[in-house]
Amino acid sequence: MLCGIWVIRLFPQDGAITIHIDNVSKSYSPKQPLAVNGVSLEIRDGEVLCLVGLNGAGKTTLIRMTSGIILPSRGEITIDGSSIVKDKLEASRRVGWVPEYPNFEPNARPLPLMRYFAGFYNLRGREAEERIRESLDSVGLSDYLNRKLSGYSQGMKKRFSIAESLIGDPQNILFDETFNGLDPEGVVFIRGLINNLRNQGKAILLSSHILTEVQGIADRVAIISHGTLLKVISRNDLKNLGKDTIFITVDNPDDNILSLLGKYGEPSWKDNEIIIKDLVVGKEEYTDISRDLIKQGYMLRHFQSAGENLEEYFFSLVGEKL
C-alpha cells in the first residue's frame, strides 16, 4: 500500500467533490486560439475521471492548471475548497501530479531528493524516512536507491515521479498521459495503482490517448477537442455508445440470409458471423430480426447487440467537430 489506509470504495455519486474546475480558460498568446476554452468539471472522492482528446486538445494544459504549475487565464479551480489561484500553496499541497515526462536533476539520487520533497509536506525524521521507503518500495524502486536518476529508464522515472507525488498522501491525484511509453508490465502496474488509489477514496484526474485503457478504468470520460469540452460520459453510458451493431451466428447460413436482413440495416459477413451496421430499426424491434430468421428456417445460435467502443465513438464525435 502507498500512503493512507484502505477503505471501502465509494461510488462517485456518493463521494464529496474535491476538484472543482469552473468555466476555466487558458490563453498562451492573443494570436493563438485558447488552449482551454470554458471547461467545467467536477471530480469526486473515489472517482477516476479520464480526459481524452487528440494531441493539442488541451488535456495537459488543463491538468497543469489543476496542479497549479500554470494558472488559468479565466475561471476558477478549487482543490478541497482551496483556490489554486488565491491560495495556491494550500491547494497544491492537496494534489499529487505525475507529468507525462518526469524531469529531475540528472545527478540526483532517489533518497536525498525524496527527503527534499518530504520537507514540502513538513515531514521530518523517522516519519519522513518511513514514508519515503514505503513509497519507493511500493513502486518497485527499492533495489535502485543508489543509482542516479540519469540512469533510470523512462518507466523508472515515471515510477519515481509517482512515489514523489504521493509522499504527502494527497487526496487528489493527477496523471498526465502516464500510460504513454510504458511496456506491458508498466501498464499493468499503473492500472493496478490507479485502482488501488480509487479504492482508498482518492479523486483521480487522468489524461490518456490509450482509449482501451480508459474504457477499462474510467468512472467517467470527458472528451475534449480544440480546448472545448464536448461530452462527459458515465461508466454506464460507456456500455451503450453511439449506434448499435448486431452480431448474429446461425448454424445453417446461405446466400439468401443477407437479403433477408437487408431491411434492418447493412448486413455483411465477417469470420462466419453476420454483422448488421447502420440499423434502421430501434431496440424494441430487435426481436423481429431473430423472429424473421427462425421463421425462415435458420437455426439461431448467437444474437447480440453492442454499441460502439470508446475509440469508435470518440472519432465519430471529434470528427464532426474538426
Q: What local confidence, expressed as pLDDT, does residue 14 receive?
A: 57
Decide if 7 is inside a domain: no
Give the model's confidence band at 295: pLDDT under 50 very low, under 70 low, under 90 confident, else very high: very high
CA gap 141, 144 in Å, rounded: 5
CA gap 71, 36 in Å, rounded: 12
Q: Decide which of 209, 238, 267 is a domain's last residue.
A: 238
Domain range holding 273?
Answer: 242-319
Which of the pair, 238 or 239, is modelled with greater confidence? 238
Decide if 69 is inside a domain: yes
**55-69, 230-244, 292-306: which range is least confident on average?**
230-244
Query: Distance from CA of residue 92 to its chain's centroid?
Result: 21
Supply φ then ψ for residue 59, to 5 degrees.
Answer: -65, -50
Q: Tell me how many domains the chain contains.
A: 2
**36-40, 76-80, 131-135, 281-285: which range is least confident on average?**
281-285
- pLDDT greater than 50 at residue 147: yes
Longest dimension (CA), the chain: 80
In this structure, are residues 87 and 76 in contact, taking their beta carbons and an 8 Å threshold?
no
As a whole number, the mean pLDDT across the chain is 87
pLDDT digit string, tens, across residues 251-286: 998 989 999 999 999 999 988 899 998 888 888 888
The conformation of residue 9, written as its DSSP 8-state character, comes to P
Decide if 6 is inside a domain: no
Mean pLDDT of 150-166: 91
The conformation of residue 268, written as its DSSP 8-state character, comes to E
Q: How many CB atoms lie within 10 A of CB 133?
A: 14
Give the model's confidence band at 160: pLDDT under 50 very low, under 70 low, under 90 confident, else very high: very high
- pLDDT greater than 90 at residue 16: no
Name the pairing type of β-strands 203-207 and 241-250: unpaired
Q: What local confidence, expressed as pLDDT, does residue 1 receive?
A: 32
Residues belonging to the chain: 322
Q: What local confidence, expressed as pLDDT, does residue 6 receive?
A: 29
CA gap 322, 318 in Å, rounded: 6
Q: What local confidence, expressed as pLDDT, does residue 8 receive?
A: 33
Give the model's confidence band at 313: pLDDT under 50 very low, under 70 low, under 90 confident, else very high: confident
Task: For residues 207 and 263, state if they share a domain.
Answer: no
Q: Decide which of 238, 254, 282 is a domain's last residue.
A: 238
CATH number for position 46: 3.40.50.300
Task: For residues 124 and 69, state if they share a domain.
Answer: yes
At 65, is the secondary structure helix, strand, or coil? helix
> Long-range contact list for 283-288, CB < 8 A, 24+ apart?
283/244, 286/246, 288/264
CA gap 73, 80 in Å, rounded: 21
Closest CA to 278 of 262, 292, 258: 262
Mean pLDDT of 279-302: 90
Closest CA to 121 of 81, 84, 179, 165: 165
Q: Which three cell numbers stand for residue 248?
A: 448474429
CA gap 77, 95 in Å, rounded: 12
Closest CA to 322 of 230, 212, 210, 189: 230
Q: What local confidence, expressed as pLDDT, does residue 194 receive?
A: 93
- pLDDT greater than 60 at residue 75: yes
Mean pLDDT of 216-237: 91
SS3 percent helix, strand, coil of the chain, rounded to 5, is 35, 30, 35
Decide if 8 is inside a domain: no
Task: Annotate 212-221 with b (16+ C-beta within 10 A) or e (fewer).
Answer: ebbbebbbbb
Q: Decide which of 213, 238, 263 is a domain's last residue.
A: 238
CA gap 176, 206 in Å, rounded: 6
Give the model's confidence band at 170: pLDDT under 50 very low, under 70 low, under 90 confident, else very high: very high
